[in-house]
Amino acid sequence: SNLSTGNLGSVIWDFGDGDSSTVFSPTHTYALGGDYNICLTIKDTCGERMLCKRFTATCIPATPVFSQTSNLLQAQFTDMTPGNVMVWAWDFGDGNTSSQQNPTHTYQAVGNYNVCLIATSDCGIDSVCSTISITCPALVASFGNTNNFLQANFTDMTSGQASSWLWSFGDGSTSTLQNPTHVYQSAGSYTVCLQASDGCNMDSTCTTVVVCAASSASYNYTANSLQVDFTDASQGLVVSWAWDFGDGNSSALQSPSHTYATGGVYNACLITTDDCSVRDTFCQSIGVVAIDLANEIALQIYPNPNPGLFWIQAEFGQVEELSLQVFDLTGRALFAQQMGAVSGAFREQVDLSSLAQGSYILQLDVAGQRLNRLISISK
């Protein structure tokens, strides 16, 4: 401070470290502690005068200060030490160190760590230590899935901050996607597992997933007079069958036999349910013809079913006038042939290959008596 009195013209300060000032009462900061010779020169109308004094500058090392934030196992440190710090030496408490001013450090495990900062300034060295806690939030692996036959869509439902996923689909295939889609090669039950990690915690969960192939109901049948044998021909993993024979009767067998009370055309339906509870229905009209057993031995049709070309064979004791007609199951006549007078062993090939696949009624007229047979054309 300049305490001079009188009519001062100008002042010049020499701080003894090479710096100077012309301010009346200046403030000066020394770079280093030590003894300095400070001189004040005053110029006025009476001349120039100088006053010098010895000054000791004392340098006190600044106390280090730092803050810390963490995200899972990663910690961010921020130096807040005042003064002219030139060197930083961090000890993270787990055997690792850093010389950065504001370092980031990733710990290998949760726990409490004693973190120390040694700060070196132009005034010396000082240090500070503080215990920090590294914690991880809870992580619970979970997932859901929706299936479209053999395709399964998986959705990660893990609680927490998962950053990596490892899926095992139970058929030898894996994925690291968060929400994968997987196509199985065959229907069945698979144990699917998800392992989720956030870089800090790890958790896993497994569940059984059932996938189904597309199923479709179908059946074949053979008729012998009023008895019809039904054979299930459905595709897929069917677990239940529901038959409606079209006459008010039903069955839950896979391949049942049913005897109708009378001949006629019946709409027989099969309803299947597969292992994924998907239902399908298949219906077709079947013709049932009551056959005179007395004549069954005398008349043979083979092969039956056939591709449209077959033989009829009979044994007649005397000369008979023979004619043949073929009807569809609605009674519409589709084919007629006059065979004239026959006796004894009779064998004739019939060509119905122009007709569509299905069931038909073949009728033989023998001297006014009619014999009906059900034939099946399969192509």
Same domain, 170 and 193: yes
pLDDT in tens, 260-319: 988 778 999 999 998 778 899 999 988 777 655 444 446 789 999 999 999 999 887 666
In whole angstroms, what is the distance from residue 283 CA to residue 217 CA? 9
Decide if 344 contacts 316 (C-beta within 8 A). Answer: yes
Same domain, 322 and 364: yes
Decide if 197 contacts 167 (C-beta within 8 A). Answer: no
Among 184, 211, 238, identify where a domain stops. 211
pLDDT in tens, 195-223: 999 888 899 999 999 888 888 999 999 88
CB-side neighbour CA atoms (13 Å) of 290: 5
In whole angstroms, what is the distance from residue 284 CA to residue 268 CA? 6
Same domain, 367 and 301: yes
Q: Is residue 3 part of a domain?
A: no
Q: Can you tell me the mean pLDDT for 219-236?
A: 89
Q: Can you tell me the mean pLDDT for 162-166?
A: 95
Decide if 375 contacts 309 (C-beta within 8 A). Answer: no
CATH number for the domain that contains residue 231:
2.60.40.10
Q: Can you tell me the mean pLDDT for 219-242?
A: 90
Decide if 270 contacts 282 (C-beta within 8 A). Answer: yes
CATH number for the domain that contains residue 369:
2.60.40.3080
The chain-wide mean pLDDT, for the chain, equals: 88
- DSSP secondary structure code for residue 138 in this structure: -
User: Apex CA 184: angle with CA 182 and CA 189, to 5°?
Assistant: 110
Same domain, 157 and 187: yes
Same domain, 262 and 237: yes
pLDDT in tens, 327-356: 988 778 999 999 888 878 889 999 999 999
Same domain, 207 and 174: yes
- Checking if the pLDDT of 66 tops 80, the result is yes
Same domain, 104 and 122: yes
Among 288, 313, 334, identify where a domain stops. 288
Decide if 65 contacts 101 (C-beta within 8 A). Answer: no
- Checking if the pLDDT of 2 tops 60, the result is no
pLDDT in tens, 81-102: 987 888 999 999 999 999 999 9
Q: Is residue 227 part of a domain?
A: yes
Question: Mind spelling out the 3-state secondary structure of 300-362?
Answer: EEECCCECCEEEEEEEEEEEEEEEEEEECCCCCEEEEEEEEEEEEEEEEEEECCCCCCEEEEE
Instruction: Give the count of domains, the chain.
Output: 5
End-to-end Cα separation, the chain, in angstroms: 122
Sign (positive/negative) of CA torsion 297, 298, 302, 305?
Answer: negative
Same domain, 308 and 332: yes
Residues in a beta bridge with 155: 144
Same domain, 152 and 199: yes
Q: Is residue 321 part of a domain?
A: yes
Q: Is residue 88 part of a domain?
A: yes
Q: Is residue 1 part of a domain?
A: no
Sign (positive/negative) of CA torsion 115, 120, 121, 124?
Answer: positive
Task: Look up the domain containing 229 and give its range.
Answer: 219-288
Q: Is residue 5 part of a domain?
A: no
Q: Is residue 4 part of a domain?
A: no
Q: What is the pLDDT of residue 75?
A: 95
> Burial of 66 by CB count in 10 Å (0-12 exposed, 13-18 middle, 19+ buried)?
buried
Q: Can you tell me the mean pLDDT for 368-377?
A: 83
Same domain, 297 and 371: yes
Among 134, 163, 179, identify where a domain stops. 134
The pTM of the full predicted model, rounded to 2 decimals, is 0.47
Q: What is the pLDDT of residue 214?
A: 80
- Choose the weakest-confidence range: 76-80, 100-104, 225-229, 270-274: 225-229
- Choose the weakest-confidence range: 69-83, 150-164, 318-332, 349-363: 318-332
Q: Is residue 52 part of a domain?
A: yes
Q: Can you tell me the mean pLDDT for 243-263?
A: 94
- Cβ neighbours of residue 148 closer than 8 Å, sequence gap 6 or more: none
DSSP H or E stretch at residue 370: strand 369-377
- Checking if the pLDDT of 5 tops 70, the result is no
